[in-house]
Structure 1
Amino acid sequence: MAPMLNGRTHWSVLVLCVLLAGGAGFFFYQTTQLKSSLVTTAQEADDTESHLTQRLAEAVETIQKRDGQLSELENELEETKEDLRDAERTIEEFEEEYRTTINAVKDLNKLSQIDEELLQQYSRVYFLNENYIPERLTQIDEKWVDATKSDEYFLAQAWPFLEDLLEDAERDDIDLRVLSAYRSFDEQAQLKGQYLQTYGEGANTFSADQGYSEHQLGTAVDFTIPALAGQLAGFGDTEAYQWLLDNAYKHGFILSYPKDNAFYVYEPWHWRFVGEDLARDLNRDGRNFYEVPQRELNEYRLELFD
C-alpha cells in the first residue's frame, strides 16, 4: 500500500508544481504587462506634462503680451483723459471770455442808455449845457405835489424811486410834498433873476445860476410839508427832514448841500437821486457827494437805476 501512496503523492506534487509554475508565469506575465502599462502611462504623463507646460508657457507669454497691451491702452486712455481735461479747460476759458465779452458789451450798451450827466457834480464849478434836456420826463402825481404848485416833472427812469420814497414816508405818517423838481435852463435863469431882485447878491448863497443847477438834470427835488404852506424855511426842523436823513438813501437819494458844504448854504429840503448803491455807500461812509472824486462817482453809473 505504501508505494501506491507515494506514487499519488508524487503526482499530486507534480500537479501542484505545474499549477504553481503556471500561476507564477501568469503572475510574471501580469506583472510584466502592468509594468509596461505603467511605463506607457508614465510616458504619456510626461508627454502631457510637457505639453501642458508648453501651453502654460504660451499662456503666460500671451498674458504678458496682453498686460503690456493693456498697460499701453491704459497710458493712452490716461493721455486721452488729460487731453480731454485740457480741452474742457480751454472750453471753460473760452466760455468765460465769451461771457466776459458779452457782459462787457451788455454793460457798454447799458451805459450808452444812461445819461452820463446824471452823476456829474454840477454846482458853481461844473456847467451844464443850456441846451441840455433830460431824455424823458414824467409828471409827478399831483397827490405828491405841494398845493401851491402844479405840473412838476421828474426824470422818468428815476421816478419809481421817488414814488417809493414818498409812499414809504406816507406809511410812516410823514406827509412829504414836492415843492420843486425839474427846472429847465430858462426856468432856472428866471428863478435866479427873481431871487436877485429880492435878495440881491445874497441870492448867490442859496440859488444856482442857470446851467449849474441840479434841477436841470431832472433828478433833484425840493421837499416841503403842507404845514409850511409852500415855503422851504423851517423844513430842517421838521420830522419829515429827520425821516429823510434816516431813510432817503434807501431809495437812492442824498442831501446835496448839508451843513458846511463848499457850494451853497445848508439846504435841508434839496435832495438828489444818485442811485441806491451810491447813496447807500455815501451814507455808510459819512461822505458828501461833492467830496467824492468824479472818477469814483462814474463807477456807479452802470447800476444807477438797478
Structure 2
Amino acid sequence: MSQATLMDGTGLARRIVEETAQQAADLTARTGVTPCLATVLVGEDPASVTYVRMKQNRSRKAGIVSRHVSLPAATTTAELIGTLTELSADPTVHGILLQHPMGHHIDERAAFEAIAPEKDVDGVTLASFSAMSFGLPGFSSCTPGGIMRLLDAYDVDPAGKRAVVVGRSAILGRPVGMLLLGRDATVTYCHSRTPAADLSSAVREADIVVAAVGRPRLVRGEDIKPGAVVVDAGYNAGNVGDVDFDGARERASLITPVPGGVGPMTIATLLSQTVEAAVRQTGA
C-alpha cells in the first residue's frame, strides 16, 4: 500500500476564512453590522496569551471585530460570571470565547454556562453540547466541528463506518464522537484508562480513528487498519501527535499531519461560527 494522503488542514482553513470574510463583508453591506468576537482571558498564561493574540489576528483577517477582555489572575468565579453575563447582554457582541484552562480557583463549568447559547461560538456550554448531540441548531465545539469539515472536504462519509475516538474531554473527545454518531457512524470511545490491549483491538477494527487524548504516539501505527482514515487531534512537545505518524501513514488512506492538520481548522471553525452567530442575531 502506498503512503496515506495528507489531509491539509492549513489549506482548507485558509479557504474557510476567505469564505467567512466574504460572508462578514456581505452582512456589513446589508445591515451595517460588523461581526464581533469577544475574547476573555483570566491571568497571563504565556501559551493562552499567544493563542488569544493569534485568534485576534485571524479575526481581523476574516473581517471580524475582536474585543479582548483581560482579567487578573485573582478574578473570582462570580466576577468572571459577571463579565460574561455583560458580554452576553451586549447586542454589539455576537460571539464569546472564554480562553481555558483557567485558574484552579475558578468554577470553569459555571463560567461557561454564563455564556448565552446564541453567542457560544466555541461550543462549550451544556446547551451547545445538547443541541449538537440531538442534531438541533447550535454551535459545535470548534475542534470537533473542524474535524467534521475536514472529513467532508476529503469525501469521507462516516455513515456505516466504525469510528474509534481516543479521548473523552468535554470539548473534543465526547463531542466529536456525538458528531460522528449523528452522521451514522458506529462509535467506540477509548481513553486514558482503556487497557492497552483493548485500545489496540478497537483501533484495528476502526475505519476512522480520531486521537485526542494528549499522550504522544499512544495510537500505534501497526494497529491502524489498512485504508483507515486517521485524524490526530493531539499536540505534544516536539510537534508530536497522539498517533505514531510514520507507522500509521504506511497503513492509512488519509491522515492529518501534526501540525497543519486539525489545529488550523479549529480557529477557522470559530471564525465561521462567529459570523454565523452574527447573521442569526441580526436576522439577516
* TM-score, with length taken from structure 1: 0.27
Structure showing the higher helix proportion among its residues? 1
Q: Which has the higher contact order (CA 8 A, sep 6+)?
A: 2
Give the number of the structure whose alpha-carbon radius of gyration is greater.
1
Structure showing the higher strand proportion among its residues? 2
* TM-score, with length taken from structure 2: 0.28
